[in-house]
Amino acid sequence: MVRRTFLFAVLFFAGTVLSAFASGFAYAHALPDGVTVSIQPVKNNLSADDKVLIKLTYTNHGAEEVRLLKWATGLEGRIDEDILSIWFEEQELEYRGRHFKRAAPTAQDYVVLSEGQYVSKTVDLQLSYEIELAGSYRINWRADLELAANEQTSRQVLAQKGTNLVLLDNIYLQPLSGITSQTPTYQNCSIDQAAEIRASVVVAESYARTARDSLSGAPLSKRPTARRYKEWFGNYDAGRWAIVQNHFNQIYSALATRTINFDCGCNLGYYAYVTKSDHYNITVCNAFWSASRTGTDSKAGTIIHELSHFTVVANTDDIEDSSGTYYGQSRSRLLAIIDPSSAIRHADGHEYFAENSPPLDMPNGADDPGNPDPGPEPEPVPVPEPVIPSFLAAIYALLFSEEKAR
- Chunked mean pLDDT (size 10), the chain, 406 residues: 34 35 37 83 60 84 89 87 76 76 82 92 85 66 53 40 32 35 82 90 92 93 96 96 94 91 93 92 94 95 96 93 87 96 96 96 58 40 50 55 49
Percent of the chain residues past pLDDT 90, beyond the cut: 42
End-to-end CA distance of the chain: 25
CA distance 84 to 94: 10
Instruction: Give catalytic residues, as residue numbers.
Output: 306
Domains of the chain, by residue range, sit at 35-167, 185-355
Topology of the domain comprising 185-355: Collagenase (Catalytic Domain) (3.40.390)
pLDDT digits (tens, 9 = 90+) for 166-191: 333 333 333 333 333 457 999 999 98
Whether CATH 1.10.760.10 fits 35-167? no
Q: What is the pTM of this model?
A: 0.50
Q: What share of the chain is helix, strand, coil (3-state, %, to 5)?
A: 35, 20, 45
Dist. CA 351–CA 348, nearest whole Å? 5
The confidence score (pLDDT) of residue 122 equals 92
d(CA 26, CA 29): 9
Q: Do domains 35-167 and 185-355 have the same CATH topology?
A: no
Tens digits of residue pLDDT in 25-76:
233 456 788 888 888 877 655 454 567 778 888 899 889 999 988 888 889 8
User: Which tens digits make up the pLDDT trace of 258-290?
Assistant: 899 999 999 988 999 999 989 999 999 999 999
Residue 216 CA to residue 362 CA, distance in Å, equals 11
Q: How far apart are CA 56 and CA 61, in angstroms?
A: 16
- In angstroms, the Cα distances linking 383 to 230, 231, 235, 279, 336 are 11, 15, 7, 37, 14
Q: 402 near 331, Cβ under 8 Å?
A: yes
